[in-house]
Structures are given as C-alpha cells and as structure tokens.
Amino acid sequence: MSGQYETVIGLEVHVELATETKIFCGCSTAFGGTPNAHTCPVCTGMPGALPTLNRKAVEHAIAVGLATNCEITKDCKFDRKHYFYPDNPQNYQISQLYLPICRNGSVAIETEGGGKKQIGIHEIHMEEDAGKLVHDEVENCSIIDFNRSGVPLIEIVSEPDMRSAEEVIAYLEKLRLMIQYLGASDCKLQEGSMRVDVNLSVRRAGSAAYGTRTEMKNLNSFKAITRAIAQEAGRQTKRLASGMCVVQETRRWDDANERSYAMRSKEDAQDYRYFPDPDLAPVHISDAWIEEIRARQPEFRTEKIARYQRVYKLPLYDAEVLTETKEMADFFEAVAAVSGKPKKASNWLMGETMRLLKENGMEAGEIRFCAQHLAKLIALVDDGTISGPVAKEVFAKMFDTDIDPERYVEENGLKTVHDQDALRDALMQALNDNPKSVEDYRNGKEKALGFLVGQTMKAMQGKANPKMALALLKEILSE
Amino acid sequence: MKNRISDETVAYIGILAKLELSEEERKRAGNDMANMLDYMDKLKELDTSGVAPTSHLFPTENVFREDIVTNGDGQKDALFNAPAKKEHGFLAPKTIGMEEG
Amino acid sequence: MGLMQYGALALGKKIRKKEASVLEAVTEALDAIQEKENVIHSFVTLSDTYALKRAKEVQKQIDDGTLVSPLAGVPVAVKDNLCTRGIRTTCGSKMLEHFVPAYTAEAVSRLENAGAIVIGKTNMDEFAMGSTTETSYFGATRNPWNQEHVPGGSSGGSCAAVAAQECPCALGSDTGGSIRQPAAFCGVTGIKPTYGTVSRYGLVAYGSSLDQIGPIARDVSDCAAVLEAIAAWDQKDATSIARRDMDVTAALVDDVRGMKIGIPKAYFGGGLNREVKEAVLAAAETLKEKGAITEEFEFDLAEYALPAYYVIACAEASSNLARFDGVRYGYRASGYEGLHAMYKKSRSEGFGPEVKRRIMLGAFVLSAGYYDAYYLKALRVKTLIKREFDQAFERYDAILAPAAPTTAPRVGSSLSDPMQMYLGDLYTVSANLAGLPAISVPCGRDQNGLPIGLQLIGDCFQEKKIIRTAYAYEQSRKEWDA
C-alpha cells in the first residue's frame, strides 16, 4: 500500500540565537534563572514599552542565511503577528512576514546511496520567543515565566523537498552542525534551543500536485521526529487509501504513546492580522555589511576535513571524527598548534578523550582540561619521561581535574626510571619469578618477552621505559 | 449604508479581538462598523496604483542596540501589578474547549 | 496675585529670583486643584505627597546652583497615558484603574530633570480615543470657560488644568489632534511636534505611527520652553530622531516679515462654523499686516485624510491594546471558565464602548481579505497626502487652518453620534499622518464666550517656523480673553 504513496516533508526549524541579550531589550538570555528575573517592561509587554533591535541577532541571522546560500533581503522589516496566548505578552509576536531577512537558499545533504540532494530553503525570518507556561495542579492554572520571552529566534522554513525521515535527519544534522560552527546557536533539541515542526503530506507516487499537509509540533528529539514521520505518513496514507481526506491542521506529537492529536479550538481563528511594526525602524543590510559578515564566517566541516588531511596529514577517518562537532575540532586545532604533533593530538582525542566523554555522558564542549596540558602530556611521552601506561593514568586525572601533567608526574614520582641497574634488578627478578616464560621464549615464543616486560613494568609501577626494558631483556637472555 | 456587517462577522471579529458583546452591543457594533466602513470606502475613489504604502514616515533605519546586558532582576517590578501570581510567576487560567482527536 | 496666575516661565523666574519657593508653587497648585476640581475634574490622580517631596529636592538643587533650568520648580500636570513610576497610570480606563507602572516615561523624566514637578495625572478620553474627554471611566472633564461644555480631547484634562490655572503647563499626547483640539477649546496653546522629536517610551500607545507627546501651556513661550526640555533622541525609542535644532525658544521672535503662509481652501468650506472661520481668517489678516505673505491654495486630498487616519489609527489601536488581557496587569473579570472566557470577559468589562468600537474596526481592517482594501490602501493614501504636503511646503513656510470646525460642544452632545465626533478631527489628523509639527494658539471667542483656536502646520522638523509665526501672532493678538 505504502508503495503507491510518496511522503512529502517540509520543515520549520526554530533556532534560538546565541546572544547575550534578548532581541528587543537588554535582558539576559541566560537559560533558567528564577522565574521572571530576566524581564523588563519590554519583554513583559508593559504599557508604553518599546522594542529596540539587537544588532548581534541580525548578524547571526545573516550569517545563517549566507551559510545556507540564501539571498539576503537588503531592506527588511518586522511585522506584528497577532494571537492571544498567555506566553505572548503583547498578544502579538514581532516576526517577519512580508520581508524576511533571508530567502531562496539551499542545503546539500548526503543521501543513503551516497549521492547528494539539495534541500531548498524558502526563507529564514527573525522573531521573538515566547515565555514558558507550567501547569499548576493545585490551582488548575498555568504559571507563566517570561525569562524566555524575547529571546531571539530564527525560523528556517524549508521547501517541501524531503521524502523520508532519513532525509529529514540528514538535513537537520547538517543544519545543526552548520549553525553550531557559526556560533549562532547551540541547537539543543532537549533544551528547546532548536525546535522542529514537521509539515507532512502524502500523495500518489508520480503525482505532481501536493496533498493536504498537517503540521506536527512538540518533537523533542531526532528519534521522536523519526517516529512521528512514520506514524503520520501511515495515518495519512491509510486515510487516503480508504477514500477519506486529510484535514489541514496542527497536530501535537505524544512521544510516550507514539501518536499525535489534533490541536483545535473554536477560539483560534488563525487570522494573524500581520502588519509592519511601526515601533521598529526598517533594517537596511548593505553589501559592505554582508561582506563583513561573510569574511567572519568560519570554515565549515567539509573545508575543515580537507584541510586536516592536507595540512595536518591526518587520515580521512581522523579528520571526519574530529570535525563532528565544532568544539572538538577547535580543541584539536589548539592541541595540534601547541604540541606540533597533530597525529598524536588526534590519537589522544579520538581515543582516551572520546572514550571518557562517552563514559561520562559529556560533550566536547564540556572538556575540562586545557590544550596546553594535553600538549605537555604528549611531550612527556615523546621524550620518554613517562611511559604509555603512566600517561593514561595521568590523562585520566587530567580529564577529571585539569592537573598540570608535568607537575603531577614530578610530585607523584611517575618518571620513567632510566637507571640501568634498577631495571636490570627488576628484570632479573621477573626472570626468576617466571621460569616458564623464559623457557617459552627459548622455545621460540616471542610473546613471552612481552609478558616479562609487563611484569617488570608492574613491579616498577610503570616507571620503566618499556623499550629500554625490552632491549635489556633481550641482552640478558642472550648472555 | 452600503456595507453590511453580518452577525457572523461581528462574532468572528469578537474572537480575533477577544471581545464579547451583548446582543444589543452586537447590533450596534455591526451598524457602527458598517457606517465607518462606508466612510472609509471614500479612499477607494483615489487611484493609488503604483503608489508605495508608507508604513514608516522618515527614512530612519538600522536603529540598533548593542548586545550588552543592561537590565537587572526585573521580577518584583514585573509581578507588581499581576492580578494573580504564584511562586514568582503569573497565574492564568488554562485553555478549555480544546478538541483532541 | 496668586502664583498659579503666572505662566511657566514667569513662575520659574520668580522661583529663581527667590520671590517664591518651590514649595509655595506646589502648594498653591494643589490648593487651586482642591478648589476647582469638583467643578472641572481635570485630574484622575494627584501626586501630592510625591510633589511635596520633590519640591524640597528641587529647591535644594536650585539653592546650591545645580539646577538652573527655566522650568525648575514649576508644577506640571501629566496626561494619564504617560507612565509614572509609583504613580498610577489609568489611561482613563477601568482596565488600568489600579495600574502602577514600574518606570517613568522618557518625556516625563526629562521634564523632571529640568526641575518641573509632577503634581498629578490628568483626565483623558479612554486610551486617548475620543475628542471630548467624556469617554473617561473616571467621568467627564468640564471646560473651564463654561462647564456645560466639554474641554475637547483626548488631552482634555491637561488643557482644562492649564486653562483653569490649576498649574501653568502640562503634557499631552496627540494622535489625531488630541493636543491641538482641546487646546483650542480651552483657550490654551499646544504643540504637536514632528513625529520622532519626543521619545514615545512610556507613552501608552494608541496609534504608534501617529502618536507624539507635546506641551500644553498658557502661551507660545511656555510651550517652547517645555518642548525644549522634552525633545531629545532616545535610545529606547527606535522611531526617535536625533535633532540639533531643538533650541526652539530661540524662535520666539516677533517678526514674520516675508514668511509665506498657505491657507488651504478645503479647510474653510462647509462644515466650518462661521465664527471660527472669521476668527481664523482674522488671525491670517493680522499676520499679513505684520508682513507675512498669505495665499490660498488647493489642498485636494484634505477629505481623504480623515478616513485614512481612522483606518490606520484603529488598526494600530487594535494591536496596541491586545496586551490588556488581565494576565500581567490591569483588570481581570471574575466568574469565567477557561482562558479565552477570561480574556473576553476582562476586556469587555474593562474597556468602554468607544475603545471597543475602535478595536473591532481595527481588527476588521487587518483581518484576512480586508488588509489590502483598507489598511494597505490607507498607507498608500498616506503616501499621497505626504506628497501633497511636500509640494505645499515647497511654497509655504507654514499652513494656516482652524484647529477644529467648531468651538467646544455641549457635554453629552457628541457621544450619541460617533461619526459626528470623528468629523471634528478633520483639520488635525493630516499633520499626524504626515508626521508634521503643528501648533494651536487661541485666536478669539465665539458669541458664547468659548475659545477658538488657530492652527499652524509646519514642514517636518520646522518647529521653529511655526513657533515664530505663532509667537508673532500672539504679540499682536487683540485681548481675546478680556
């Protein structure tokens, strides 16, 4: 049945811009805080208050527009969008309908088959975020907190160019990474700094006309998005196949029960009465300003991967892994610069660092140690001051509390012992304790040497130089 | 009176503007609106094709604020006039009449 | 002679010369209000405690030489749609009966910085919607010249307070004539500055693209002094304009020789009261005698300004007044079920009929299917009107017109027919649509003794020209109020 139908998806992605202050007032955008602490007359819609536009928010929006190949609207304006809701303090939201800041862009995604596909960006417009409602059981009321009210948002509206959940996720991941690279937002779905509404319709395969679409809201993770797409495509297909029609409506996804509900109320007319906001001056974006922002655009992932291979001589795999997040890439570049050993930096980051991050449920941005310290650690191993096993131990410590590895090694007496006599004593002891291994070696089992060196290292609490130990061991055995 | 404003229109505008009118007010509102619209229809006498609408009178543009926090804790001031509040938040009734299906 | 019989500058001078103390000025203002309020009812709220406290502070600043402004120590009344921290601000509405703002409007702050002392908040048509000050939830204000008549509106309380000598000057706001028309009806002087000249921050918005705050006082000089104190660029108002030519008291020069004054024929046709017409044309004659060049001209679009104004003002009002919903401040009804019923009940009970009428109309002209036909059309007509003014100001330094088609109507006569009331704004709204400065100066009285106002409209940013013309006229004016 589903083979006869095709799913058509367009997305509306809201992204909270990473500014210090709100879009129209000097209140902090810090997440959380006691309710209504980050408010003023403007973002609580007090009588007589007027909005003033945050330059940084406009620059972030232009940056995202450039990264998504949009045309920047040279003269853009803000419009008022009217609807009554308690989280909307003026009962109109300042948004952009008639002249959005960016239009006609595209984002390339990699499809399953390894090919590329362009997803069109219809427009990106700027708007203000609403406050937060919390349901209060005791009063059977909503409690409203306006701390989030007025946080700058961009809404990235795609064309209906996606045909599957896989394409949707690929597009979202691409978009998210790009915006993170720009520093325009942290794009966290769980915290709501990235919010995705899915517009979905189905049509008979081969049909040129679009079917009636629904808009799905309340999607808090990529998994929820994937599930909601499957469920909604199925629901619509079933209706069409049985001769019923799809109603154009907004639906709310209930991830726990894996189903959606229509959000309808006779009090919502969906007639927003947009008109240009007379309180805000139009924004003129000159070519010079666009070029200034373009010049500041960071290098994106594809360019980074190429450069890592070219400049740092990293394998493709390393370059890909390190650039998965901007934070990791930035950190790698810092370590590579200080240590002058890009491959070793890559090994530490892709190995121990990522392992411990995963183990602790942390993200690259949460790394506590500094690049200088990792560079020192690399140097300590390189010049033979400490052994590999000791280095791992020091690293674990550094990962937890950012100790200075040099001082730590010094203070804890972890330096490799270069004293030949002490090493010879320890090796002799190991040979005496493990006659079987000696015999194995003599019978041609090279592996036994590793075991003996390991025992020696253990006895010396890792402070031996394993290469030196191996050489000396061979010497003793050949005596 | 050329314009006629139906009861449905008055009710619809009531939903948009969140105003609830009594039967008598509704009748009067329809009449008043129709009267005013008749008067406003005078504008249709003017040919405005090719005339750009003026939403902002003076060519001021790019009035920006720099991204620097200037406001402190606004909680007390925000809540001072609240008709109902709880735990540093405003209290509002819940939406009812939401159909789910 | 009591201190309230002096104008603002004269009183300021007495205070600076230590012939009167600030406390005496404030006390006499409060006494005058006490004596006249039950008849005139200019005020909604008195800020007497605050004023007495401020009087001491200002006196100290005058004494130690830190405050040298000409308005230092002068009592001022503030229209009740300008926010004042700690003093309730009602907009003449039940909706804001108990609303106490947490901040002060920029224009008021500037006036206070100049040493003026806010003695109270004046009555007004509810949310500035009306031309009589009868739509106030707190009762009508009466015209000090004849209590059977209205003071005009919406800044009727401010104009009546000045006319009744309850205080020497006041602030008003003008969206479609709300300073100029009541000033004319009350026989006082009022200025609507060029849009953007005075910060709107803290002015409870009615029609955001039209609203301007302006001074109301006994004469042109006092108005100019108050305007000079309140006009300034403000970072908090994105429509505010930085100007370097607001030293408007420099324009108080009794010389109009060579000044070209246009008289739009369309403003003197049918519908204009004969006595008003004669008084205004006599004023034109006076200016001519003083060396001005007067000339009649065709103002073709005059009749389209009013319908365009009502479309735009109502549309913006429906949007601006959406925030009054009973959630964060203001009136909340009781006995509702659910959110939307709370909204509707609170707004329906909290707003008066005129406000509801304009909100409904505004929501209608913005609603799907009507936006282009009404709202966008009105914005296009606004473009044409602005253009016609631009052409007129290529030839004239000022345009001379009546401030209102009649003198103050009797109390109660306007409310029955809103359409008739709207027509009273015929001569004032076009200055708001085009953002132009305009002044209203008394120029005579009708046979019932009610004042008549002369309006002078200038090109944008040309406050000085109209102030100079008005001042020169004032110097030669017959003893109109004798």
Q: Tens digits of per-residue pLDDT, C158-185?
A: 999 999 999 999 999 999 999 999 999 9
A42-46 CB contacts, 8 Å cutoff, 24+ apart: A42/A150, A43/A89, A43/A128, A43/A146, A43/A149, A43/A150, A44/A89, A44/A146, A44/A149, A44/B74, A44/B78, A44/C328, A45/A89, A45/A90, A45/A91, A45/C323, A45/C328, A46/C83, A46/C101, A46/C102, A46/C103, A46/C328, A46/C329
The dihedral sign for the CA sequence C26, C31, C34, C39? negative
- Check residue A267 and give its pLDDT: 67
Average pLDDT over residues A235-249: 93
Mutation for testing the A interface, residue in B61, B68, B70, B90 having most A CBs under 10 Å: B90
B100 pLDDT band, cuts 50/70/90, is: very low
- What value does the mean pLDDT take over residues C377-392? 97
- Residue with the larger pLDDT of the pair C82 and A453: C82
Cβ contacts of B32 on chain C, cutoff 8 Å: 357, 361, 418
Specify the CATH class of A420-478 in words. Answer: mainly alpha
Residues of chain A with CATH 1.10.10.410: 420-478
pLDDT tens per residue across span C323-348 = 999 999 999 999 999 999 999 999 99
Q: Out of C238, C318, C322, whose CB is closest to A84?
A: C322
Q: Mean pLDDT throughout C369-390?
A: 97
Of A65, A221, A76, give the one whose Cα is nearest residue A155.
Answer: A65
* Chains interfacing with B (3 or more CB pairs < 8 Å): A, C
DSSP state of A462: T
Q: What confidence score (pLDDT) does residue C479 get?
A: 66
* Of residues C180, C420, C191, C210, the one with CA closest to residue C280: C180
Residue A326's pLDDT is what?
87
CB A21 to CB B67 under 8 A? yes
pLDDT average, residue stretch A103-122: 91
pLDDT in the model for residue A410: 85
Helices and strands (H and E) in chain A: how many = 16, 17
Q: In the block, which residue shows the tokens 């000045």?
A: C162
Of C21, C47, C131, C178, the catalytic one is C178
Q: Using the beta-carbon criterion (under 8 Å), do A278 and B87 form an inter-chain contact?
A: no
Instruction: Provide mean pLDDT across the span A354-383.
Output: 92
Token pair belonging to C92: 């003449």
- Nearest-by-Cβ selection for B65 from A55, A135, A275: A55
pLDDT band of A1, cuts 50, 70, 90: very low
Catalytic residue flag (residue C79): yes
Residue A20 and residue B68: Cβ atoms within 8 Å? Answer: yes
pLDDT, tens digit, 9 for 90 and up, residues C283-312: 999 999 999 999 999 999 999 999 999 999
Across C27-45, average pLDDT = 97
Cβ contact, residue pair B89, A263, below 8 Å: no
pLDDT(B99) > 50: no
Interface touch A46/C371, C-beta < 8 Å: no
Tell me the pTM.
0.87
- C38 close to C104: Cβ distance less than 8 angstroms: no
Which class is B1-42 in CATH?
A: mainly alpha
**Helix intervals (H) in chain B:** 7-17, 23-40, 75-79
Cβ pair C332:B63 closer than 8 A = no
Q: Closest CB to A271: pick one of C96, C339, C368.
A: C368
Using the Cβ of A360 and the Cβ atoms of chain B, whether some distance falls under 8 Å is answered with: no
- C348 catalytic residue (yes or no): no
pLDDT value at residue A456: 85
Choose from A84, A142, A264 for mutation: most chain C CBs within 10 A. A84
Task: Please give the C-alpha separations between residue A51 and each of A371, C295, C398, in angstroms, as whole numbers.
Answer: 42, 44, 34
Q: Which two tokens stand for residue C152?
A: 């005009």
In this structure, the strands spanning B64-65 and B85-86 are unpaired
DSSP C393-456: HHH-SEEEEESSSSSPPBTTTTTT-HHHHHHTTTTTHHHHHTT--EEEEEEEE-TTS-EEEEEE
Phi, psi angle pair for A195, to nearest 5°: -130, 135
pLDDT at A300 over 90: no
Q: Which of the following is catalytic: C47, C131, C136, C154?
A: C154
In this prediction, residues C360-375 reach a mean pLDDT of 96
Cβ-defined contact of C100 to B81 (cutoff 8 Å): yes
Chain B residue with minimal CA distance to C302? Answer: B43
**Chain B residues with at least one Cβ partner in A under 8 Å:** 12, 15-16, 18, 55-56, 60-71, 73-75, 77-79, 84, 86-95, 97-101
Amino acid identity at A117: K
Using alpha carbons, select from A250, C134, A84 the residue that is nearest to residue B20: A84
Q: CB–CB of C87/C45 below 8 Å?
A: yes
pLDDT in tens, C108-157: 999 999 999 999 999 999 999 999 999 999 999 999 999 999 999 999 99
The per-residue pLDDT for C42 is: 98
Per-residue pLDDT at B18 exceeds 70: yes
Give contacts of A28 with chain B, Cβ < 8 Å.
Answer: 69, 71
Nearest to B78 among A36, A283, A284 (CB): A36
Provide mean pLDDT across the span A42-56.
98
Residue C482 has pLDDT above 50, yes or no: no
pLDDT tens-digit map of A301-335: 888 899 999 999 999 999 999 998 888 999 999 99
The dihedral built from the CA positions of residue C321, C326, C332 and C333, taken in this order, carries a sign that is positive
pLDDT tens digits, one per residue of C193-244:
999 999 999 999 999 999 999 999 999 999 999 999 999 999 999 999 999 9
Res. B77 pLDDT band, cuts 50 70 90: very high
Give the closest-approach CA distance of A291 to chain C in angstroms: 26
Query: Is A265's pLDDT higher than 80?
Result: no
* Residues of chain C positioned with their CB less than 8 A from the CB of B82: 327-329
Examine the residue annotation and report whether C69 is marked as an active-site residue of this protein.
no
What is the reported pLDDT for B68? Answer: 97
Whole-number pLDDT of residue B96: 62
Pick from C103, C307, C419: CB nearest B43: C307
Domains and CATH numbers, chain C: 1-482 (3.90.1300.10)
Residue pLDDT, tens place only, C425-446:
999 999 999 999 999 999 999 9
Least CB–CB distance from A281: residue in B60, B84, B100: B60
pLDDT (0 to 100) of residue B101:
38
DSSP letter at A129 equals: P
Which residues neighbour C13 within 8 Å (Cβ) at sequence distance 6 or greater? C70
Q: Is the pLDDT of residue A420 over 90?
A: no
Cβ–Cβ gap C102/A41 under 8 Å: yes
> For position A429, what pLDDT does the model report?
85
Residues 5-64, chain C, touching A (beta carbon < 8 A): none
